[in-house]
Structure 1
Amino acid sequence: MQRPTIPMPSSSNRETNVVERIFQALLAVVVFGVVYRYCWQDISDPYKCGALLNKGQWLDPGPRWSSRTPFQNWQPPGCIMHEYKKEDIQECFGKRRIVFIGDSTTRQVFWAVAKKMDQARAEGEITEMLDMDEKHHDLDFTSAGVTVQFIWDPFLNSTGLKRELKDFRPDSQLHSNEADESAGLILLGAPGLWYARHGQQNLQKDFRDSIETVIPFMDHAIQGNTRLPAARPFPFREYSPNFLLLAPVQVPWYESLSPSRAETMTPEKIDQMNDYLQQVSAHSSADVIWSYTLMTHVGRSQYEESGIHVVDNVAHRKADVLLNLRCNADAASKGYPFDRTCCSNYKQPGTAQWVILLGGMLILPTLPFLRRQHLLRLNRFLPSPSVLSALVVSGLVVSYCFYADRTQIFEKEQKQFRQREVIVAYLEVAVAGLLSIRECKSLKTNYKTAPKVKDHGFLTRDQSDEWKGWMQLVLLIYHYTHGSNILWIYQIVRLLVASYLFMTGFGHTLYFLRREDYSLRRVATVLVRLNLLSCMLPYMMRTDVVFYYFAPLVSFWFLVIYCTLKIGHTRNSNLHYLFGKIVLSALLTTAFTMIPGILELGSFFLRLTCAISWNVGEIRFRIFLDMYIVYIGMFFAALHYRATRLHSGAATPKRLIDHILKLINTYHRAFKTLTIIASLALLPGFWALTRRSPDKEDYNWWQPFISFIPILSFITLRNSHRLLRNYHSTIFASLGRYSLEICILQYHIWLAGDSTGILRLGLWSRWTETAILTPVFLWVSWRMADATQVLTSWIVDGDRAPTQSLSRGDFAASKESPPILPNVRDGESTPSKDLRFEPGDSRMGRLVGWVIRTARSDLRYRLGLILTVLWLGNVSYS
């Protein structure tokens, strides 16, 4: 008797299991890290107010990082600090006053706020003040209804100070009748420098007396003080209360002091005064902004020549710390992007978010277990195990996005461009891509070469996946390192986005010309695949579809391609007719996008009927940037398809363009040589041309008309030799197959604050945490791509959906056809055989069974049901 053979797992399966376990271990490290930090380290400062008040570091410390403008990026630990502008200040304070009381170091912060309101007028008044030698006077500055006042009081003993403290009400936001008397924000500058410079033997006692005069007005914990809130400083409220804050004594740069100042302003005096302030703040709830001291701790370059006053950038960041402490409490109510996470709390989950969280993290994960245990009578209503697993993955991924980017569980950090880090990252990516170069598996014999010589062909699937993969990595590094501020990097990235859209036009056009499949099933497959994730996230993340701009942008262009080729598709073999349709489509799309009022009318209609509010300006900007590259891809695909048919004998030349293509095929070597020479000449010429653009706005105007030059040149060079066509980078190709999920999920689980910052664990160095979070992010994207493929097939094909994963063939943007299932009419499928009614079924059970059976059997009904659910979600969510 022959022994049964035990099937052994293949090497590829073993490798996949090992990789899966590594990713799961990294995810466990992430979960443990955030739980440890959140439950132990952050319990005393959940809203990052203490971090903003007491800590921080420069991300651009000095000229060696940014020779032109250092000290612009101050980073409190674990949160994103917002740079306040005129509109933000006006929105925060309304008609309220901002009062600064102290010496010239406090006056610098006053002028920094005034410059944020109106820089030109503020600089003019500074010049006038210096010319008139009125430095020791009170100052008023009013702009946009907000009044900023400075009271000259270097010893904190003036009548102006007493008046402000008498009228100050921390909770006057709640009592409108006191709003005109109390200032919205008061910053007191500790009088240490003047006591050190002009004080006598009792200067330390005089300093303590002046501080003790104001502490009762700052101490939230004083018993029986009915004017002050009993809560600790900076409690989360829907709106911020009025704040009274104290700046520590400015530590001078002693080596730059004049001889007379250096004799009196000694380190011993300044240190004793700040030590006393530390004792006061430790034994009361008075709030001292110790981060001001850390801002000047690095070295000489933060100071002006006097050694006392700081440079303008440092003064502006002092003002931003102050404004973030006062104005960020209700930042979450302003909508996305959530880029003000210092001294701020996120909004509590709404109904839609709680439904997704409970469903994604509790209900869906338990259904597979209950199904296996046969504990549910509703098993017959559940989808197949693979679809149910895909639903579980989708729910967990969306919930992960919420907890990463809509809570304080993960830390957030501001971006900072460092050219060295960008170059190192790109070199690492290039080395990884080169080391993973392998021969393509699915080779075919070329008709022009010997039978033994194999050629993969022109712009095949492996090559396009590789292209998408390395472009996606370039985009990730661009976003992570804040390369958008560098013009030449921005220009390259804009070309990469145009390349994606070129492939969209090329791939879909080639598919339609080859398959002539203009069915509802094809349209639904592409649109569901592209938009499934970007339609789920807005309900959870309080964003909108336009925020994930790439998916709706590609969807728009797919519909343009479909309508262009669908109309009169029986004559698409006539290139003159086809090119005429493409040109007409380009003219209509340009008119639709650029004529004022058309997009606005569509947006008004969507807002009125579907409660959808989109940024029309953003839509117009995104479409215009790559207005014509999709049509270049369509032209290219039509020429390539026609040339292939002519050469294979499947078509005969009828028109002039056919004869030209036939001639090119006959003398293909000479034509290839000319195109390679032209490409090698055009690429440096294009680069020299774009370097003449002075800014982004100028380049954006040229982008739609010139982006095809480097793209076609790259395609020509990439396919110029058989070896280049037959080999590809497997790492880049693997990433390219789920680049859509990478593009969308990066906003929330790799970047932070809706891509305005980066995500951190808050436990190790930035690069250590990047090495942990990046593989987790890519793994989650890969699993989400698998799930999206399965769910797309389930939605489109109903019960006929295949049970295996479809991530190896992203047919949404491929030239190949999705799985063809015979003997089924468009829009229909075979009803489920396991959904039967039992005698004990109630009317509700029969109704549910009928709805599920109908949804499973008709694609049009499924799409209508999905659109109805989205409409109800929009209406209820708004």
Structure 2
Amino acid sequence: MPNASPKLINYVFLFVFLLIVSTQHIHAQSGKNDPHRCLTLLNNGTWSSSVPGGSRRWEPKDCRMVEHTADSLHECLNDRKVVFIGDSTIRQLFWAATKQVARRESETRIKRLLQSNGKHHDISFRADNVQLEFVWDPWLNSTVLHGVLKNFHALPTPLYVEGIAGMDELSPVLVILGAPGLWAARYGGDDYMNLFKRAVTGVVPYLSPSLDNNISQAMKTTQGSGDIPNRIFLAPVGIPNYSNLAPNRSKSITPERIKAMNNYLSEVFSNNLTYVPWVYNQIPTSSKWDFDIDGLHVSDDMAALKLNIVFNALCNSAASARSRSFKGTCCVVPLQGYSPVIVGLLLGVSAGFGSAGARHNLEVGGNPEIVKSVETLRNILVTFMWCWYADGTSYLIKAERHYEQEVFVAACLIWLVVSVLSLRKATHQTDGSSSSKRDLRYYRGPGYISRSQSNEIKGLMQGIILLYHYHHASQALWVYKIIRLFISGYLYISGYAHTLYLLKTNDFSLNRVIEILFRLNFLSVFLPYMMRTTYTSYYFAPVITFWYLVLYAMLRFFKSYNRDLRWLLLKIAVTARLTNLLILTPGILEAVTRFVHAIFFISIDVEEMRFRLRLDRYITFIGIIVAALTHRASIRREPTFLQLGWVGAALTLRFTYWLAIVCVGSSLTFFYVTQTYLQEKQTYNQIHPFISWIPILCFIVLRNSHRILRDRYLLLPNLLGRISLETYVLQYHIWLGGDATANLFVGYWEGR
């Protein structure tokens, strides 16, 4: 990894240490009331409209819920029973559950059952290993209800059976009760509140603070075992859409009565208990979409969402223990251990080692190269530990990403302005060539684009890519098209730089190849072992590695022909054709990935790799061709047509002027056509490989179109460009969370 100032590294370590202290303080404070973030799931949330298609998504505060599939629910509810008890609003949840747990072959049975069941009858449904039961009991006073509550226990059924013998019936894994408020308001007359209190009093002994403590303790006990504690929920009195209620209902079901009954529930059941989903009354907001035509029942989508909330409370902890890739963070037991202490001690030792005095003594008393190696190892260890702490634990809050165009554009503009303010004058380097002033006029640095320029361009692009991922700007097609050009631009620069190096030095040594492959793949190979991800999760590293190997193999074989431009161009054409067949022909890439897995034990998602390689299957060869032309010109001490601004001839100045106009016009035409006429992502992806070189070459030509532009570079992007690959990989666990699907927050402001 590129070297950095020891003082700068110490500041970074101090910043990380303060973050750890802050997160531990917040975690300790929030852990007193909501250690598993169940309360936030059941009590606080908001709607987000920033999803594809303009549809809404419900998001709990400070945690992430997921939409459980039929397979995940069968794994969670394996051989367990779910009981719904209440009126028709609870029956809606029962029907939503049948649809969620039933596989395709059960849909016909659901329709038949829906048509045959009576209006006020109990219903039973079984899908494979999951038993669903609905008990019609709008007043919560049936013998069936009290039998279920009597046998309910927070411990998972196997543990409960082992501890308590002779039970007549096992405890259900999930019980959902409906507070009888709508029936009390509709049929109770002036005595509605007494009827409501009487019904609630009947279930109060079974919903006590001790039950909540037992559930919390059971979650800790069963962490990592695959078992889940049994849960019970009492749905509050639903708030109807009063404007759509029938006249005979609107007279008795009034806002005052509903509010009075829910206020009574909030007095009886403290909000600190995790079995009253008060959030149910926050979810419906629009009468057009959220309620049925009668105004009393919610829509099917709202019923499914309500059910999914309790499924998240029930199943998330076990699902998180089974798989690190599970994205839910609500109602999840955090990992226990001494990770904060370990990371803190490591940071302290690192800062001590990095201090000026300690570093100087070690260099004087030992080998400076050993000191540098130890520093590098230290930096790597701290980086890995911070990745694990930030994304592998629950100390930092993982929140859903939202795309807000104004905020994203403003952030990009700020980045560009700050970058321009870091303008510096470059020092001329000849890379071993003659250092005379005459030579400098013709050949500056590695070809027509210097190292400072290439790092600057990569850094500019990487800064916007980081903002692109953080602000979830992939939701906007116009931004996606620009980012695709950035990825192609990086591959172009990589292909150009590696080709120019090999042509100039003829260094095809194994040591050089190992050095390059190690740099490209170190993080993306080791992080999967610690973070339980895959190699192709960090797709850019395998993509850039693939193109380097293709480039190296092409120049290595028959390398004597590299001196002749005509033969080299023929090799490029043949290699491009063979690589195209390798990428697009089914079966070939699969065989290659199986070979890689057998030799290096690296798992590769073939379809993901094929998609990524197909998008940029020609741009690397454009970089190779330009590098070959630049190398040929440098050998002959001639300025290439891309290295503009040759001082002296009026003809050259005129050529410079017209070429700049062509580049500006070509770029404007490119963006106008792609942004106006290519309105489907799939269509753009099909055309992108053939046209991406146009704005890339135009930009680099314009970047070198005048001596003032060539002699200056942007320092801040240049520094970022030196570690652009590392920042791209590390953003998955440091800049973002949940494998780049969420934003990370310390929680100091959100949790207050």
Q: Tell me the TM-score range normalised by the shorter chain.
A: 0.7 to 0.9
- Output the amino acid matched with 1:193: L
Q: How does 1:312-461 map to 2 (within 5 A)?
A: 314-345=302-333, 384-442=370-428, 458-461=448-451
Out of 64, 74, 80, which is 1:80 matched to? 64
* Aligned mates of 2:232, 2:138 — CA distance in 1: 17
For 2:140, the equivalent position in structure 1 comes to 156
Tell me the equivalent position of 2:688. Answer: 703
- SS of the aligned residue for 1:244 comes to strand
| Structure 1 residues 35 and 533: alpha-carbon distance in aligned structure 2, compared to 1, 3 A threshold | same
Which residue number in structure 2 is paired with residue 548 of structure 1?
Answer: 538
One-letter amino acid matched to 1:742: T
The verdict on how the C-alpha distance between 1:276 and 1:356 changes in structure 2, with shifts beyond 3 A counting, is: closer
**What letter matches 1:410 in structure 2?**
L
* Shift in alpha-carbon separation, 1:231–1:447, aligned structure 2, 3 A: closer
Alignment of 1:581-660 (within 5 A): 581-605=571-595, 607=597, 611-646=601-636, 648=638
Structure 1 residue 738, shift from structure 2 partner? 1.8
Q: Deviations over 1:127-150 (max 9, x none)?
A: 999999976665666667656554
Distance 1:131 1:92 in 2: 29
- Answer yes or no: is the 8 Å Cα contact 1:690–1:699 preserved in 2: no
Instruction: Output the CA distance in 2 between the equivalents of 1:152 and 1:572.
Output: 83
Q: Could you tell me how far apart the structure 2 residues matched to 1:86 and 1:318 are?
A: 16
Aligned residue in 2 for 1:728: 713
- Pick closer, same or farther for the CA change 1:384–1:419 going to 2, 3 Å: same
Q: Deviations over 1:693-747 (max 9, x none)?
A: 5644444344333333332333334334444444433322222122122212211
Which range moves more in the overlay, 252-261 or 16-25? 16-25
CA contact (8 A) 1:137 1:151 kept: yes
Which of residues 712, 733, 746 in structure 1 aligns to 2:731? 746
Aligned to 2:23: 34
| SS in structure 2 at match of 1:329 | helix
2:449 and 2:24 mapped to 1: Cα distance? Answer: 47
CA–CA distance in 2 between the matches of 1:402 and 1:233? 26
Alpha-carbon distance in 1 for matches of 2:685, 2:101: 29
Deviations 1:524-566 (A, max 9, x none): 2222222233334233322233322222322222122111111
* TM-aligned CA distance change 1:259 to 1:68, over 3 Å: farther
Q: How far, CA to CA, are the matches of 1:197 and 1:760 in structure 2?
A: 46
Aligned pair in 2 of structure 1 residues 180, 398: CA closer, same or farther (>3 Å)?
A: farther
Give the partner amino acid of 1:739.
S
Secondary structure of 1:74 counterpart: strand
In 2: Cα distance, 1:373 partner to 1:25 partner: 17
The corresponding residue for 2:643 is: none
Q: TM-score, normalised by structure 1?
A: 0.71
Distance 1:179 1:551, change over 3 A: farther
Report the RMSD for the aligned CA atoms in angstroms: 4.7
**1:868 corresponds to:** none
Q: Encode CA deviations 1:569-621: one digit per residue, 9 max, x unaligned.
A: 12202122222222332333334344444444454455556544333333333
1:133-187 superposed Cα distances (whole Å, 9 cap, x missing partner): 9766656666676565544443334566456556756522557999997544332
User: Mean alpha-carbon deviation: is it higher for 191-200 or for 592-601?
Assistant: 592-601
Partner of 1:273, secondary structure, is helix
Aligned twin of 1:780: none
Instruction: Tell me if 1:90 matches 2:69.
Output: no
1:231 to 1:344, Cα distance in 2 relative to 1, 3 A: closer
Structure 2: give runs of 5+ residues left out of the alignment: 641-649
Matched-pair contact (CA < 8 Å) for 2:46–2:60: yes
User: Is the CA contact 1:75–1:414 (under 8 Å) kept in the aligned structure 2?
Assistant: no
Inter-CA distance 701–217: structure 2 relative to 1 (3 Å threshold): farther
CA contact (8 A) 2:196 2:261 kept: yes
Matched, 1:763 2:751: no
- C-alpha distance after superposition, 1:277-301 (max 9, x if no partner): 2233339967111222333479998
Q: How does 1:246-265 map to 2 (within 5 A)?
A: 246-254=234-242, 257-265=245-253
CA pair 586-160 structure 1, distance change in 2 beyond 3 A: farther
Measured at CA, do residues 488 and 93 of structure 1 come closer, stay the same or move farther in structure 2, by a change above 3 Å?
Answer: farther
Matched, 1:52 2:41: yes
The secondary structure found in structure 1 opposite 2:270 is helix
> C-alpha distance in 2, partners of 1:468/1:496?
8
- Corresponding position: 1:206 with 2:185: no
Structure-2 residue corresponding to 1:186: 175
1:469 aligns to 2:459 (yes or no):
yes
Cα distance change of structure 1 residues 642 and 404 upon mapping to structure 2, 3 Å threshold: same
Task: State whether residues 178 and 237 of structure 2, in contact with CA within 8 Å, keep that contact through their aligned partners in structure 1.
Answer: yes
Whole-Å separation in 1 of the counterparts to 2:108 and 2:475: 29
Contact 2:93–2:303 under 8 Å retained in 1:
yes
**Cα distance in structure 2, aligned partners of 1:278 and 1:607:** 58
- Which residue of 479, 484, 488 corresponds with 2:474? 484
Contact 1:356 1:540 in 2 (8 A): no
- Count of residue pairs the alignment pairs up: 726
Structure 2 partner of 1:737? 722
Three-state SS of the structure 2 residue aligned to 1:508 is helix
2:190 aligned counterpart, secondary structure: coil
Measured after TM superposition, the shift of residue 675 of structure 1 is 7.4
TM-fit CA distance, 1:763: 0.9
**Which residue pairs with 1:571 in the alignment?**
561
Give the % identical residues.
35
